[in-house]
Structure 1
Amino acid sequence: MLYLTLKIIHIMSGAVLFGTGAGIAFFMLRAHMSRDVATIAAVGKIVVLADFVFTASAVLVQPVSGLGLIYLQGYALTEPWLLAAYALYVLIGVCWLPVVWMQMKMARLAQTAADAGEALPAAYHRLFRGWFILGWPAFAGVIGIYWLMVAKPAF
């Protein structure tokens, strides 16, 4: 029963991690494409909140439930497919942490511009480009981890 509970928790938190990331990317991109400063500011606030409530929670649950599953299934922590998953998890984190900071900064810049009735500053656009670029390796990393968890390849 413990194994099934941990497995469900691990799968669900992985789905939350992937789904929230994809949803945040979609809504941020759509808001940005609208070119409406007030929309960008409002969506930016929601995205930051979603990242802290959902993504951060899943980021904490994933390693705990994953380690429990590894132990219960009798795998060594050094299985090659697990080492690859750890590396991808670190890559995702290295991308995600600056992205969260960028989202917070972009939301503040957009809100300031909206309050002043001004266009978005150049700093917002620079941050958006960085946010967009860092999203791709993080997204690919999550897909890679899913593949590793399902395939458990023998390298």
Structure 2
Amino acid sequence: MEYSTVKFIHVLGVVLFLGNIIVSAVWKTQADKTGNPAIIAFACRLVNVTDLFFTAFGAALITVGGIGLFHATGIAISDAPHLTIGISLFGMAAMLWVTGLLPLQIYMSKIASKTVLSGEAHMPAAYDKCRKLWNIIGGLAVLMPLGALYFMIFR
């Protein structure tokens, strides 16, 4: 593929990926602040949907575009330590998402839905524990790709 095409794919992936993880974190945090189980359930459900589309699709585009850029430029990874650091940070963020955030989000969505269906006025303590853990893991999962972005741009 041509350099400008793979660069476009890569940058589009970055925009979708980073945009969604940042917006989802802000959106869900604001929903949690309301304490309203219906709003929280709605936010949890849509965070799961947008994560599967925008985050996963963005990550796929980043990967395809990154591999394409290696081929288009002929850069050897051993000659570019900044790329090794960026790729490592991106990979660690992906692992946090797959092993930590995604399972927590699905579980929190189930808790929120059950709370709404049962007519409860407040979220249970189990949700609050998950929310706190999600905030910690999510913070790391946002900082790592931002670090990757830094290393990719400012070598």
RMSD of equivalent CA atoms: 1.2
Distance 1:136 1:30 in 2: 15
Structure 2 unaligned residues grouped into runs of 5+: none
Q: Is 1:137 matched with 2:137? A: no
* Paired residue secondary structure (1:120): coil
TM-score normalised to structure 2 length: 0.93
Distance 1:95 1:125 in 2: 20
Per the alignment, residue 103 of structure 1 pairs with 105
Q: Which moved more, 1:133-142 or 1:37-46?
A: 133-142
CA contact (8 A) 2:48 2:106 kept: yes
Letter matched to residue 97 of structure 2: W
CA contact (8 A) 2:13 2:60 kept: no
Per the alignment, residue 89 of structure 2 pairs with 88
Distance 2:124 2:14 in 1: 35
Per the alignment, residue 56 of structure 2 pairs with 56
Letter matched to residue 84 of structure 2: L
* Paired residue secondary structure (1:95): helix
Per the alignment, residue 115 of structure 2 pairs with 113
Deviation at residue 29 of structure 1 after TM alignment: 0.2
Distance 1:11 1:90 in 2: 17
The list of structure 1 runs, each at least 4 consecutive aligned residues, that deviate by more than 6 angstroms after superposition, is none
* Number of aligned positions between the proteins: 152
Distance 1:33 1:137 in 2: 21
* Paired residue secondary structure (1:75): coil
Distance 1:136 1:108 in 2: 22
Alpha-carbon displacement from aligned partner over 1:51-75 (angstroms, at most 9, x marks no partner): 0011111112211210110121121
Alpha-carbon displacement from aligned partner over 1:29-87 (angstroms, at most 9, x marks no partner): 00000000000001111110000011111112211210110121121123211110121
Alpha-carbon displacement from aligned partner over 1:97-139 (angstroms, at most 9, x marks no partner): 2111111111110110011112212211111111100111111
Q: Is 1:147 matched with 2:150? A: yes
TM-score normalised to structure 1 length: 0.93
